[in-house]
Structure 1
Amino acid sequence: MLDAMTTMNISLPDALKCFVDEQVNERGYGTCSEYVRELIRRDQQRQQLRALLLDGAASGMTTPVNGDYFESLRTRVRNARK
């Protein structure tokens, strides 16, 4: 199922409009809208990653990891594939 689309008009200086047009042509986007949607998706992903990193940094210290820890992860992955 496709998401509903809404139109949003933006104003760009000539230099940015030329840059967008170049990116569309050079990178194989069908339209300027496709290029802008991709930029917005990447920014969303960047913000989500940043939030996860900040959450991890704020979560406090954990116990040190060693070879046994990584082996237990490998075992869990192997068992999950079965």
Structure 2
Amino acid sequence: MATMNISLPDKMKQWVEEQVATGRYANASDLMRDVIRERQEKSAAIARLQAEIDKGRASGISDKSVDEIFAEARKKAIAALKARDAAA
């Protein structure tokens, strides 16, 4: 495992120490690994969302009404929930 040293303002250092003091983390490194993992997951989720936005923009303007679009989305969501429940 690689080592990296970072500099933090006093308030951030204090926050890190408080988080470690709760007992949830063994040390500051454990906390930082957790924070980085969360940030990686968030970045991946944002990238997936952006890809869907790009796909939607590239598909052009729909000839469906807003009500038709929402009705179709509702049907898809209900079908997905039923499929999920059936698999459980």
User: 3-state SS of the aligned residue for 1:17?
Assistant: helix
Q: Could you tell me which residue of structure 2 aligns to residue 31 of structure 1?
A: 27
State the shift of 1:14 in Å.
Answer: 2.4
Instruction: Give the alignment's Cα RMSD to 1 decimal.
Output: 2.9
Structure 2: state its 5+ residue gaps.
Answer: none
Pick the structure with more helix per residue: 2
User: 3-state SS of the aligned residue for 1:28?
Assistant: coil
Q: Could you tell me which residue of structure 1 aligns to residue 49 of structure 2?
A: 53
- 1:8 maps to 2:7: no
Give the length in aligned residue pairs.
76
Q: Which amino acid aligns with 1:24?
A: V
Once the two structures are aligned, what percentage of the paired residues are identical?
32
State the shift of 1:71 in Å.
Answer: 6.3
Q: Output the TM-score relative to the length of structure 1.
A: 0.69
